[in-house]
């Protein structure tokens, strides 16, 4: 039976590959602890009235939601993902001399103790390249990612193109 003393006596120094492996494992564990696989959304943020304006033939769709931050600090939405759409980005529509255009935004910040209705504030999630057939009546899971690393999974109802918010 090998004891710690016998191992040390027969192996005065750890082989270089073992030291490197231990170092890499320690770094990976620290990274997981620091960043996690996405922590729960801030308990102060909730989502309601989440829906997608569906367009036929795989055209880009738009997602709308009402977010409420009941906390004492701002919460910033910085991205979104879904198993159904290959690409989701944050956008805001602008009226420029009677012509509507949309521009990507890096984040959407909710003020403390406030509610933000995407449709009323001219924000939307631009949903690109559906991976499967999406049709009115379906529900699509979308994970909202916040600047602090937290996430919130929301079920979005798919509505026809002519649906009102």
Q: Measuring CA to CA, how many Å separate 125 from each of 3, 97, 163?
A: 60, 24, 16
Mean pLDDT of 68-79: 96
Residue 163 C-beta-side C-alpha neighbours within 13 Å? 19
Task: Give the residue-averaged pLDDT of 87-101.
Answer: 91
Task: Print burial letters for 85-98: b (CB count within 10 Å at least 16), e (below 16).
Answer: beebebbeeeeeee
**156 vs 49: CA distance, rounded Å:** 8
Going by C-alpha positions, the residue among 58, 81, 50, 64 that lies closest to residue 130 is 58
Q: What is the CA radius of gyration of the chain?
A: 23
**Which of 11-15, 45-49, 58-62 has the highest mean predicted lDDT (pLDDT)?**
45-49
- Average of per-residue pLDDT across 90-110: 93
At CA 73, angle to CA 71 and CA 77, rounded to 5?
95
pLDDT of residue 135: 92
Residue 78, helix vs strand vs coil:
strand
Q: Which of 3-7, 125-129, 142-146, 153-157 has the lowest mean pLDDT?
A: 3-7
pLDDT at 5 over 60: no
The pLDDT value recorded for residue 58 is 81
């Amino acid at each position: 039976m090998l004891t710690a003393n016998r191992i040390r006596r027969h192996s005065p120094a750890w082989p270089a590959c073992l030291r490197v492996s231990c170092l890499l494992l320690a770094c990976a564990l620290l990274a997981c602890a620091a960043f996690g696989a996405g922590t729960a959304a801030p308990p102060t943020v909730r989502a309601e009235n989440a829906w997608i304006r569906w367009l036929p033939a795989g055209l880009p769709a738009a997602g709308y939601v009402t977010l409420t931050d009941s906390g004492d600090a701002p919460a910033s939405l910085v991205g979104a993902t879904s198993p159904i759409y290959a690409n989701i980005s944050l956008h805001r529509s602008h009226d420029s001399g009677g012509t509507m255009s949309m521009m990507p935004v890096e984040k959407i910040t909710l003020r403390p103790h406030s509610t933000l209705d995407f449709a009323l504030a001219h924000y939307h999630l631009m949903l690109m390249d559906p991976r499967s057939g999406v049709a009115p009546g379906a529900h699509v899971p979308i994970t909202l990612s916040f600047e602090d690393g937290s996430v919130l999974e929301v079920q979005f109802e798919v509505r026809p193109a002519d649906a009102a918010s």
